[in-house]
A and B are shown apart, each in its own frame.
Chain A
Amino acid sequence: MAKAKGKTPKPEELAKIDYSPPEKHWTEVPVELKPGTFCYGARPKYLEEVDFPNPRDWQPYEDDWKLPENWKDIVLEGMEDRLNKYRTFRLFMDICVRCGACADKCHFFIGSGDPKNMPVLRAELMRSVYRKYFTKAGKFFGKNAGARDLTMDVFKEWWYYFYQCTECRRCSVFCPYGIDTAEITIIGRELTNLLGCNTDWIAGPVANCYQKGNHLGLEPHTIQSNIEMMCDDIEEITSIRIEPTFNRKGAEILFVTPSGDLFGVPGVYTCMGYLMLFHELGLDYTWSTYASEGGNFGFFTSNEMAKRLYYKIYAEAKRLGVKWILGGECGHMWRLVHQYLDTWWGPADFLEVPKSPITGTVFENAKSTKMVHVVEFTADLIKHGKLKLDPSRNDHLRVTFHDSCNTSRGMGFFEEPRYVIKNVCNNFFEMPENTIREKTFCCGSGSGLNASENMEIRMRGGFPRANAVRHVNQKYGVNMLANVCAIDRAALTTLMQYWVPDVEVCGVHELVGNALVMTGEKERTMDLRLEDLPGKEEEEEDV
Chain B
Amino acid sequence: MEIKDLLQDRREVILKKWSHVLLQSYPEETSRFLRKEKDPFANPVGSAFMEGISGIYHSVLYGVDRDEVSPFLDRIIRIRAVQDFTPSEAIGFLFLLKKVIREELFDEVSRKGLNEELYLIESRIDDLTLIAFDIFMQCREKIYDLKASELRNMTYKLLERANLLKDFNDEANGDGSG
| Proximity string of chain B (20-44) to chain A, C-beta cutoff 8 Å, 1 when within and 0 when not | 0100111111100110010111111
A460 touches B82 (CB 8 A): yes
**Given A226-B161, A432-B41: A265 in contact with B153 (beta carbons within 8 A):** yes
Contact A497 B89 (CB under 8 A): no
Residues of chain A in range 412-435 having any CB-CB distance to chain B below 8 Å: 432, 434-435
* A12/B43 contact (C-beta < 8 A), A104-B37, A113-B83, A499-B78 known: no
Contact A459 B82, CB 8 Å, known A113-B30, A467-B48: yes
Which of B30, B42, B96, B146 lies in contact with A11, CB distance below 8 A?
B96
CA distance A493 to B151 in the complex (A): 14
| Cβ–Cβ < 8 Å partners of B47 in chain A | 467
Contact indicator B45/A111 (Cβ below 8 Å): yes
Given contacts A15-B92, A104-B33, A265-B153, A497 and B41 within 8 Å (CB-CB) = no
Inter-chain contact B150/A494, CB cutoff 8 Å: yes
Chain A, interface SS category: helix
Residue of A nearest to B113 (CB): A3
Contact of B27 among A21, A432, A435, A453 (CB under 8 A): A21
Pairwise interchain contact A10-B99, C-beta atoms closer than 8 A: yes
Interface presence of A498 (CB below 8 A): yes
Q: Closest chain A residue to B26 by CB distance?
A: A113
Decide if A263 is an interface residue (CB 8 Å cutoff): yes
Check A464 against B25 for contact (C-beta < 8 Å).
no
| A88 in contact (CB, < 8 A) | no
- Indicate if the CB atoms of B84 and A1 lie closer than 8 Å: no
Q: Is the Cβ of A19 less than 8 Å from the Cβ of B29?
A: no
Q: Are B96 and A113 in contact (CB under 8 A)?
A: no
Could you tell me the distance between the alpha carbons of A284 and B25 in the complex, rounded to whole angstroms? 61
User: B84 near A34 (CB under 8 angstroms)?
Assistant: yes
Please tell me which one of the listed residues B24, B41, B154 contacts residue A471 in the complex, with CB atoms under 8 A apart. Answer: B41
Does B8 make an interface contact (CB < 8 A)? no
> Is B143 an interface residue, CB under 8 A from the partner?
yes
Which residues of chain B are near A263, meaning CB under 8 Å?
Answer: 157
From A265, A452, A468, give the contact of B147 (CB < 8 A): A452
| Cβ A494 vs Cβ B146 within 8 A | yes
What's the Cα separation between A19 and B99 when bound, in Å?
14
Contact A497 B142 (CB under 8 A): yes
Interface residues of A in 266-322 (CB under 8 A from B): none
Picked from B34, B40, B119, B146, the residue with its CB within 8 Å of the CB of A497 is B146
* Interface check A114, CB cutoff 8 A: yes
- B89→A17 contact, CB < 8 A: yes
A102 close to B (CB within 8 Å): no
Q: In the complex the two chains form, what is the Cα distance from A241 to B89 in whole Å? A: 58
Selected from A1, A114, A499, the residue in CB contact (under 8 A) with B30 is A114
Q: Give the docked Cα–Cα distance between A459 and B149 (Å).
A: 15
Q: Which residues of A contact B37 (CB under 8 A)?
A: 104
Contact residues in A for B84 (Cβ distance below 8 Å): 34, 37, 112-114
User: Looking at the complex, which one of B27, B41, B93, B95 makes contact with A467 (CB distance below 8 Å)?
Assistant: B41
Give complex CA distance A285, B157 in Å. Answer: 28
A residues within 8 A CB of B44? 110-111, 463-464, 467-468
Query: Roughly how many angstroms separate A4 CA and B102 CA in the complex, as a whole number?
Result: 14
Give the residue of A19, A111, A115 whose beta carbon is less than 8 angstroms from that of B89: A19
**Size of interface on B: residues with Cβ below 8 Å to A:** 50
Whole-angstrom distance between the alpha carbons of A270 and B173 in the complex? 32
Q: Which residue of A lies closest to B48 (CB)?
A: A467
Q: Is A352 an interface residue (CB 8 A)?
A: no
Given known A112-B84, A113-B45, contact A455–B30 (CB-CB < 8 A): no
Does A264 make an interface contact (CB < 8 A)?
yes
A236 at the interface (CB under 8 A from B): no
A3 to B47: give the CA distance in the assembly, Å. 39
B134 on the interface (CB 8 Å rule)?
Answer: no
Residues of chain B with a CB closer than 8 A to A456's CB: 82-83, 143
Residue numbers in B under 8 Å from A494 (CB-CB): 146, 149-150
Contact A115 B29 (CB under 8 A): yes
Q: Give chain B residues whose Cβ lies under 8 Å from the Cβ of A10.
A: 98-99, 102
Contact with B along A30-41 (1 / 0, CB 8 A): 000010110000
Task: Tell me, yes or no, whether B116 is within 8 Å of chain A by CB.
Answer: yes
Contacts of B96 in A (CB 8 A): 11-12, 19
Q: In whole angstroms, what is the CA distance A114 to B82 when docked?
A: 12
Choose from B43, B143, B154 the contact partner of A498 (Cβ within 8 Å): B143
Query: Which of A431-471 touch B at CB < 8 Å?
Result: 432, 434-435, 452-453, 455-456, 459-460, 463-464, 467-468, 471
- Chain A interfacial positions (CB closer than 8 Å to B): 1, 3-4, 10-12, 15, 17, 19-21, 23, 34, 36-37, 103-104, 109-115, 118, 222, 225-226, 263-265, 432, 434-435, 452-453, 455-456, 459-460, 463-464, 467-468, 471, 494, 497-499
- A-B pairs with lowest CB-CB distance, top 4: A467-B44, A19-B25, A113-B30, A452-B150
Q: List 24 A-B contacts (CB under 8 A).
A: A1-B115, A1-B119, A11-B98, A19-B21, A19-B96, A104-B42, A109-B30, A110-B43, A110-B45, A111-B45, A111-B82, A112-B83, A113-B45, A113-B83, A225-B161, A226-B161, A264-B157, A452-B151, A455-B143, A455-B146, A456-B82, A459-B143, A460-B83, A467-B44
